[in-house]
Amino acid sequence: MRENLHIDHRSGSSGKPVGGLILGIESSCDETAAAVVRAGGEALSNVVASQMSLHANYGGVVPELASREHLRNIVPVVREAMARAGVSFAELDAVAVTEGPGLAGALLVGITYAKALSFGLDKPLIAVNHLEGHIHAVLMEARQRAEAPMELPLLALVVSGGHTHLYLATHQQGSAESWTYRNVGRTVDDAAGEAYDKVAKLLGLGYPGGPWIDALAPLGNPRAVQFTFGQIKTRAPREGITNKKAPAPSEGPHFDFSFSGIKTAVLRYVETHHLRESIEARRAVLAADATITPKNAQGLCDQQTLDLIASFQYAVVGNLMRQTFAAAEAFGARSIVVSGGVAANSELRRRLQAEGDRRGLPIAFPSLALSTDNAAMIAAAAWPKFLARNFAPDSLGATPQLRLGQQ
């Protein structure tokens, strides 16, 4: 643990305080990212090297390829983030890195590099939970816009390719900076983004599937196919299973999700409606023409497929909304934050916002750039930890199954 903490509170020419500079590093999945953020509220740079096209050939992230690509990208991405921020390594106050959850080999690339950097520069190292990062992406942008702080407790829906979680978040007692989280809902099988990716793949669309379905859904009839979500049994603590990283499950209701059923229902629809042939034709067209993107894909699907896509999205968004508002009501949340890759979805944004307005419940989303994985959110989430001198030990390792808060 390092104690050589020094925050320089001089004012720069802009009148803003100088110092509080944190370099964030993120490599938990398929983006190598680095960013410099000042005092958790001002992103001076935010560089993301995406491996999307590499994994697109496989329709999903290939862990071994991801680690190799992170190794190739980590040094140039960090250098670029420092250069764009106009900051020297000596001016940094701390280095923050994603500790988990994520792919072990991918996480280790960022962690090893961050540890070496922190050791070489003699600056503190801060370990950040990726899920906490997604929540802080929204809080950072709200701070950047100089908005009033979000009212607490806030309910965070973190919804991406790897996660679908609901967290109740508030400040730790007696601290205006440190946060505590309680998990009040999670997926029992696939994440929502995973369902988007799998359904898109099944329908012969590109990877990742979210942006394709998002772009095509408005062209179909969302009520053409009725998809239903069954009730999910409330989780009970499993006897005899202990996990050092997972605190004991808490009392109270849980608002869990399940997305594997709808994926199977789409598959069944494809088979009973004999869509295989047109799907194969679409896959061949896309493979042969790299200029087709979600934005110009209108002609790619017949009306029946567009209706199926619209109905799938309508059902998924409806389910996310139902559980989110039910949890908000049950726990008396005073605001809602939505983050993660699926937070980029236009129907989700529109319908959540409308329902939030109806209920008088403020809802905040990140900008599109900060919806998906990035390192500005890691540096922002590290700021309260920096103030609390909550530094990582030199022995920091990757925790692929890391949980956030009380379960």
Binding site for ligand KG4 (CB under 6 A): 29, 160-162, 193, 196-197, 208-211, 214, 340-342, 344-345, 372-373
CB closer to ligand KG4 out of 99 and 197: 197
CB closer to ligand KG4 out of 33 and 150: 33
Query: Is the omega angle on the peptide bond into residue 247 within 30 degrees of 0, that is, cis?
Result: no
In angstroms, rounded to a whole number, what is the distance separating the alpha carbons of residues 206 and 152? Answer: 39
CB closer to ligand KG4 out of 117 and 377: 377
Report whether 340 contacts 162 (CB < 8 A).
no
Phi, psi angles (nearest 5°) of residue 155: -105, 125
In angstroms, rounded to a whole number, what is the distance separating the alpha carbons of residues 132 and 122? Answer: 25
CB closer to ligand KG4 out of 37 and 195: 195
Q: Are strands 154-159 and 125-129 parallel, antiparallel or unpaired?
A: unpaired
User: What's the N-to-C CA distance of the chain in angstroms?
Assistant: 27
Contacted by 204, from Zn ion, ligand KG4, none: CB < 5 to 8 Å by type: none
CB 192 to Zn ion: min, Å: 12
Report whether 370 contacts 137 (CB < 8 A).
yes
CB 200 to Zn ion: min, Å: 18
Which two three-digit tokens encode residue 125? 């190292």
User: What single-letter DSSP state applies at residue 294?
Assistant: G
Phi, psi angles (nearest 5°) of residue 268: -65, -40
CB closer to ligand KG4 out of 125 and 344: 344
373 sits near Zn ion (criterion: CB under 5 A)? yes
Q: Which residue in the set 46, 118, 160, 323 belongs to the binding site for Zn ion (CB under 5 A)? A: 160
Contacted by 109, from ligand KG4, Zn ion, none: CB < 5 to 8 Å by type: none
CB closer to ligand KG4 out of 117 and 301: 301
Contacted by 211, from Zn ion, ligand KG4, none: CB < 5 to 8 Å by type: ligand KG4
CB 87 to Zn ion: min, Å: 25
CB 196 to ligand KG4: min, Å: 4
In angstroms, rounded to a whole number, what is the distance separating the alpha carbons of residues 116 and 278? Answer: 52
